[in-house]
Amino acid sequence: MKKTKIFFFSLLTSILLMCSCAQKEHYYGSAFYNFEYDGEQYRIRSVSSEENAISFNELVGKDFVAKDYDQDGLLDEISLGEKNLSEAQKIYEYTLTLLESQNKLQKVNLRFSVYQELNSENNYEIKSYTPGDGTPFNQFKVIKKKWSLNPEIIIGVDQQADGSIDEIVKGSMSLEEIQILYSQIIEKGLEKNQLIEINKMIIVKD
């Protein structure tokens, strides 16, 4: 199990909107950024709580909402609407690149558990998410030719954490090919007791 540093999206404090929840000892901050992409209006919303106990990013379009639960620059699911996740990812990456050029991205240390399997050529990674209002799901990452200057990264999502990749969010690989790799890594993770099967779902062990 590895603890990983990730990127947290935050707008400048001059437009940071603060509000409190029902319990006075906890405070939540939201930052908004409105932008246009291919003639359509979108918004990124970044939410964080005291000590980052709860934090995530949202990409909001006219008819969909997509979430980046671990704020690593990769959307994890479409929480509302029918938007294709890979299309939403392109919009999200465009905006993050724009914000980075304007020095409006901030790094923080968020920690989470992840299972990694390495070989001489590639890195493989499974992250498990359990949204408060949804079914657990997995993100599977393949880093090909990891020693090259620009390694290719492929991201697939297993929406039900049932061992089947449903969609490729980033990179070029067929569903059949990424499924073969995913199944192999799951088998190794179960053998090493770093993945567990609960209620027909396979997730990273805490």
Per-10-residue mean pLDDT, the chain, length 206: 38 31 44 90 81 72 90 86 90 89 69 81 89 78 80 89 92 93 97 94 91
| Neighbouring C-beta atoms of residue 151, cutoff 10 Å | 14
User: Do residues 121 and 144 share a domain?
Assistant: yes
Locus of tokens 């671990």: 70
Q: For residue 5, give the DSSP letter.
A: -
User: Do residues 57 and 120 share a domain?
Assistant: no
User: Do residues 97 and 177 share a domain?
Assistant: no
Domain boundary among 107, 130, 159: 107
User: Do residues 101 and 121 share a domain?
Assistant: no
Tell me the C-alpha distance between 74 and 134, whole Å. Answer: 18
Q: How many domains does the chain have?
A: 2
Tokens of 11: 């707008």
User: Do residues 6 and 97 share a domain?
Assistant: yes
Tokens of 184: 């192999």
Secondary structure in 3-state letters for 125-183: EEEEECCCCCCCEEEEEEEECCCCCCCEEEEEEECCCCCCCCEEEECCCCHHHHHHHHH
What Cα–Cα distance (Å) separates residue 113 from each residue in 30, 123, 124, 158, 199?
Answer: 25, 16, 14, 17, 20
Q: What pLDDT sits at residue 54?
A: 59
User: Do residues 45 and 85 share a domain?
Assistant: yes
User: Do residues 186 and 119 share a domain?
Assistant: yes
Identify whether the C-beta of residue 136 lies closer than 8 Å to the C-beta of residue 128.
yes
User: Do residues 57 and 15 share a domain?
Assistant: yes
CA 43 from centroid of its chain's CA atoms: 17
Domain boundary among 107, 122, 155: 107
Burial class (CB in 10 A: 0-12, 13-18, 19+), 76: buried
Expressed as residue numbers, the domain containing 148 is 113-204
Q: What pLDDT sits at residue 115?
A: 95
User: Do residues 168 and 94 share a domain?
Assistant: no
Q: Residues 157, 172, 201, CA angle at the centre, nearest 5°?
A: 15
Q: What pLDDT sits at residue 134?
A: 66
User: Do residues 91 and 126 share a domain?
Assistant: no
Q: Give the containing element (helix H, strand E) for 55.
A: strand 55-60
Q: What pLDDT sits at residue 113?
A: 73
Domain boundary among 71, 86, 107: 107
User: Do residues 193 and 167 share a domain?
Assistant: yes
Q: For residue 100, give the DSSP letter.
A: H
User: Do residues 147 and 182 share a domain?
Assistant: yes
Q: Give the containing element (helix H, strand E) for 26.
A: none
